[in-house]
Structure 1
Amino acid sequence: MTFNQLNLIEPILKALEKEGYTQPTPIQEQSIPLILQRRDLLGCAQTGTGKTAAFAIPILQLLKNEQTTERGPKGIKALVLTPTRELAIQIEESFTAYGRFTGLRHLVIFGGVSQHAQTAALQRGVDILVATPGRLLDLMNQGFINLNSIKLFVLDEADRMLDMGFVHDVKKVIAKLPVKRQTLFFSATMPPEITDLANTILVNPAKVEVTPVSSTAETIKQAVYFVEKNNKRKLLNHVLEDRKIETALVFTRTKHGADRVAKDLNNAGIQAEAIHGNKSQNARQRALTNFKSRTTRVLVATDIAARGIDVEELTHVINFELPNVPETYVHRIGRTGRAGASGIALSFCDAEEKPYLRDIHKLISKNIPVVEDHPYHFTSIGHAEIVASSAEKNRAEVKKKKKWFGRSRG
C-alpha cells in the first residue's frame, strides 16, 4: 500500500512526497483510515513503529477539512499530551513536516524554559497544541490556555506517563476537556492502571496493535560482548575505532554513569555529549540537535531521557550497561532500525549482568550472538554458560507446571 491509497488530501500527500515517504508503516496503514472515520483509537505500539505520523497525518487532514467549512470561534482544536520534552519537540516537528502546506498553526510547550515565547504564540492563535503535562496545567491555571474547543485529544506514551508519575496530572487535564471529542490513546504496554484509564476516556474504540514489546525488529542486527566491568570503557573506545559507526546512542543505567562515559569518550578524542534528567532543557536540546546534525558522534543517555528520541539514520545503539528490566532492552534498541531501516545493537555484559541477559533472551525468545573476537573478552562468563543456565531455568519452569497440573487433576 502507498499513502496515495489512504484517501489523503493533496497538501498532505505533497508534504509526504517532499519528505520522501511513499509507503505507510503497518500502524499508519491501520490507524489513519480509522481516525479519518472519527473513531476513538486504542493503539498498542512502541516508539519506532511510525505512530507519530499515524495520528499526526489524520489530525491535520480532519482539521484542514474543517478549516474550509467552518467559520466558528477560533481556539485550540487538537491537543497532544506526551510525557517528555524531547518527544513533545519531535511530535511538533512531525506536524511541521506533514502540515507544511495546510496553513494550520501548531505549537509545542514544555517546562524548563521561559514561558514567554510560548504564551506569545498562544495569544496569536494555535490549532494544534503539543504539550507536557506540567507546563500545560501551569499555563491553564494562569489563564493562557482554554481547552473548550478541543475536538481531538491524543494521549501518547501512556505507560511512560505512569512510570514518570504523571497520571494524576493527566487526569486533571482530561477533566477539563469537552466530553464530546475524539480520543486517540497510545501505549507500548497495558498495565492495569493504564487499561483502566483507557476504559474511562475512550468510547467504543477501534484497537490497533503493532509490534508487541517482546519482539525486536528483524532489521536490527544484535550482538553481545562479554567483558569485565572495569574494561567496558576501553571496549567502547575500541568499538568506536570503527569509522563505519557514524552515529551511536549509548545507554547507561544512571545519570552519573552517562556523564562519566561522555567525559571519557571526549578525553579519548571522540565527540560525545550526555543527556539525562539533571541536564537543563537547553542543554538537552542542544545535545540532541548536535547529535542529529552529526556534530556530535555519540550521545550517551539514560532510559527516561532517551524515550522518544527519534534520530533518522541512527546506525548503532550500544548498551554500555544492560538494563535490569528486559522490556527496556527492546525499547532501547528500537531507537535504530526504525521504519524498516537497518541498524545494529551492541551490548556489553559483565558478570553481574548475566541474569539481565538471561531475562532478555527469554523475553525476545532468542539468544543474542556473541562477539568472541575482541581484546577484552571475559572468558569466565562464556555464552554457553548463559544459554545453559537459561535452558535449565526453562526446564525447571516446565517441570513445575507439569507437577502443578498433575496435582490439579488429582
Structure 2
Amino acid sequence: MSASFKETGLSPALCAHAQQAGMVQPTPIQLAAIPPALEGRDILAIAPTGTGKTAAYALPMLHRLLKARKPRTLLVMVPTRELVLQTAKVFRACMGESGKKTASTKPASLPIICLFGGADRDEQSDELLQTNGMTRILIATPGRLLDFIGTGTCDLSDCFQLVMDESDRLFTHEFEEETRTILNYLPTPRQTLAFSATMPPACKTMLAALVYKPVELSVEKPPEERPAIRQGVLFLEDEQKTAFLKTFFGRSPKTRSIVFVRTKAEADVLAATLKKARLAVAPLHGDLTQDKRTSTVASFGSGRLFVLVATDVAARGLDIASVAQVINYDVPELPETYLHRIGRTGRAGQKGSALTLCSGAERKLLRQVEVGAHVKLRVLSTEQALPPVTAQTARQGKPRPTRT
C-alpha cells in the first residue's frame, strides 16, 4: 500500500492542502524528512532535483509554526532570487493558498516575506517592520537579508527554525562569509535543516559543525522514477560552437531549451547572435533587473520564448517541467554544477537530453565532471548531436527563389 501524508504526522489540514496542491502521496524524501522535522530534529538531507525537497521541509515547518504558542520566525535561506520565488510558491501551495477552497481546506494564514536584491527595497522593509513580533516566514538570499539585519530592520531573535536550501551553494566562496555572519545573529538552540541535491565532503563537514545530532538522509529516485536524460558530449573548438547552435536550433526552433554559459557577457552576446538568426531567445543572468528576469522566465514557461541563454543563476530554482534539452556551451567547472544544470530537464517524469560542447582546452574539466558526477558521457558526432531533419526544417532550409 502506498504511503500517505497522514502517516507522517502532519495535521489533517496540511495533509488536505498537500493533496489540493497535487501532492497525492509523499515522495521518498518527504516520507523520510517530515517525521524527524516534526520532532524538532536537525536534518542534513541530500536528494536529486525534482524530488519534492521544498515541500519536505515546508510542510513540517508550517505544522510547527501553526502550533507555536509564541510568535516564531522561520528563516529559509537560498542562494538565488529565482529560488526565493519558487520556494514561496511551494509554501503558499502547502498553506492552501492555491486551488479550489473548501470548508475542509481553509487556507492557513502566515505572512511570507521574500527578500532578495533587484526588487523594491522599501517595500520589503515595510513588510519586515509590519511583521516584527509576528509568526512569519522569511525566504531570503544572504546579501539582502544581511543588509536588513545591518540596518536593524530585520529582527531574528525569535528565529528558532532555520532551513538552508541548496546548502552546498550557500557555503561556496560566493556566499560563505554572508551566510556565517547571518548565523551569528540567530539564537541557539534552534532547529536547523540543510537540504541540497549535492553535498561535497567539505560542505558536509562545515554543516556538521552547525547542527546538533542531525538525522542524515540521502535519497535517490527509484530506477523507475528516474527521468530518462540522454547525456552526450560533442568535441568542438570554441570558434565552432556558435555555428553549431545556429544549425541545432535551426532544426528545432520551438523546442524549449536552456543553453548554459559561464559569464554574463557571454550570455548577452550569444543570445543576441541567436536572436539575429530569428530564434525566440533571451539571456538570463544576475545583472538583469528582477522584473526582467521574472518576465523572461514567465515568457519561457508560457512558450513565447523557446531558448534561454543562462548563467548558473538558472541552474537552481528554475522549475519548468517541459524543458526538453540543456546544452552546456561551456564545460562546467564543478561536477555539482553539471548535475544542477542537467536537472533543469527531465523533470516531472518527462524525458530530456543534455549535450555538452567541449573544446580541446576543456577536456580536463570534462574528465573532472565525469568522475565527480559519476557519469560517462557518450561521445557524439556532429550529425548525431543535431536534431533529425524533418520535412518542415528541410523546407525552411531551402533558399528562397529570387524574382526575375
- Within the candidate set 57, 60, 63, 1:61 is matched to 63
Tell me the distance in 1 between the aligned counterparts of 2:229 and 2:208: 34
1:94 corresponds in structure 2 to 90
Paired residue type of 1:86: E
1:79 corresponding residue in structure 2: 75
1:273-330 CA-to-partner distances (Å, cap 9, x unmatched) read 1122332333223322222232221111112453332223322111122223333222
**What's the counterpart of residue 317 of structure 1?**
326
- Is the 1:245–1:316 Cα contact (8 Å) retained in structure 2? no
1:253 aligns with 2:262: yes
Q: Quote how far apart the aligned CAs of 1:333 are.
A: 0.6
What is the one-letter code of the residue matched to 1:83?
P
Q: Is the 8 A contact 1:41 1:185 kept in 2?
A: yes
Matched to 1:108, the amino acid is C
SS in 1 for 2:171: helix
- Pair 1:162 & 2:171 matched: yes
Is 44-53 or 94-103 further displaced after alignment?
44-53
Q: Which residue of 1 aligns with 2:207?
A: 198
1:3–1:299 distance in 2 versus 1, CA, 3 Å:
farther
One-letter amino acid of the structure 1 residue matched with residue 87 of structure 2 = I
Describe the shift of the 1:189–1:144 C-alpha distance in structure 2 as closer, same or farther (beyond 3 A).
Answer: same
Q: 1:21 to 1:123 in 2, by over 3 A?
A: same
Equivalent pair of 1:47/1:308 in contact (CA under 8 Å): no
| Cα contact 2:171–2:179 (8 A) shared by 1 | no
Aligned counterparts of 1:366 and 1:137: Cα–Cα separation in 2: 38
Which aligned segments of 4 or more residues in structure 1 are displaced greater than 4 angstroms? 242-245
1:147 aligns with 2:142: no
DSSP-derived class of the 2:383 partner: coil
Secondary structure of 1:201's counterpart equals coil
Q: Does residue 110 of structure 2 align to residue 108 of structure 1? A: no
- Give, as a single letter, the amino acid of the residue that structure 1 aligns with 2:359: D
Aligned letter for 1:105? P
Q: Distance in 2 between matches of 1:376 and 1:367?
A: 16
**CA distance in 1: counterparts of 2:253 and 2:59, whole angstroms:** 35
- Give the superposed CA RMSD: 2.7
Closer/same/farther in 2, CA of residues 149 and 333 from structure 1, 3 Å limit? same
Residue in 1 aligned with 2:309?
300
User: Given the alignment of the two structures, is residue 32 of structure 1 paired with residue 34 of structure 2, yes or no?
Assistant: yes
- Give the Cα–Cα distance (whole angstroms) in 1 for the partners of residues 175 and 219 of structure 2: 25
**The 10-residue stretch of structure 1 (21-30 or 35-44) with the greater mean CA deviation from structure 2:** 21-30
- Kept in 2: contact 1:50–1:339 (CA 8 A): no
Taking the aligned partners of 2:343 and 2:385, their CA distance within structure 1 comes to 27
Q: Following TM superposition, by how much is the alpha carbon of 1:205 offset from its aligned partner in structure 2, in angstroms?
A: 1.0
CA contact (8 A) 2:227 2:352 kept: no
| Residue pair 1:262, 1:274 contacting (<8 A) in 2 also | yes
Partner of residue 374, structure 1: 383
The aligned runs of 1:8-27 (5 Å cut-off) are: 8-27=10-29
Does the C-alpha gap of structure 1 residues 111 and 65 become closer, same or farther in structure 2, counting only changes over 3 Å? same
The 1-side partners of 2:264 and 2:253 are apart by 28
Aligned residues: 367
For the pair 1:209 / 2:218, whether they are aligned, the reply is yes
Structure that is richer in helix per residue: 1
Unpaired runs of at least 5, structure 1 = 378-410
Match 2:128 to one of 116, 122, 131: 122
Match of 1:44 among 40, 43, 46: 46
Deviation at 1:228, TM superposition (A): 4.0
- With over 3 angstroms needed to count, the CA separation of the structure-2 counterparts of 1:80 and 1:296, relative to structure 1, is same
Relative to the length of structure 2, the TM-score reads 0.82
| C-alpha distance 256-363 of structure 1, shift in aligned 2 (>3 A) | same
TM-score of the two chains, using structure 1 as the length reference: 0.81
Q: Given residue 278 of structure 2, which amino acid in structure 1 is its aligned partner?
A: G
Alignment CA distance shift 1:205-1:371 (3 Å): same
Contact between 1:49 and 1:338, CA under 8 Å: does it hold in 2?
no
Which residue matches 1:184? 193
Mark the CA change 1:175 to 1:155 in structure 2 (over 3 Å): closer, same or farther.
same
Preserved CA contact (<8 Å) 2:262 2:312: yes
State the percentage of identical aligned residues: 36
Residue 120 of structure 1 aligns to a residue in which SS? helix
Cα shift at 1:79: 0.6
Cα distance 1:274–1:290, how it changes in 2: closer, same or farther (>3 A)?
A: same
What code does the residue aligned with 1:35 have? A
Residues in 2 aligned to 1:127 and 1:78: alpha-carbon distance in whole angstroms: 6
Write the deviation string for residues 322-353 of structure 1: whole angstroms up to 9, x where unpaired: 22333322221112223544322122233333
Shift of 1:14: 3.0
Deviates more, 1:276-285 or 1:104-113: 276-285
Could you tell me how far apart the structure 2 residues matched to 1:120 and 1:144 are? 9
CA contact (8 A) 1:159 1:191 kept: no
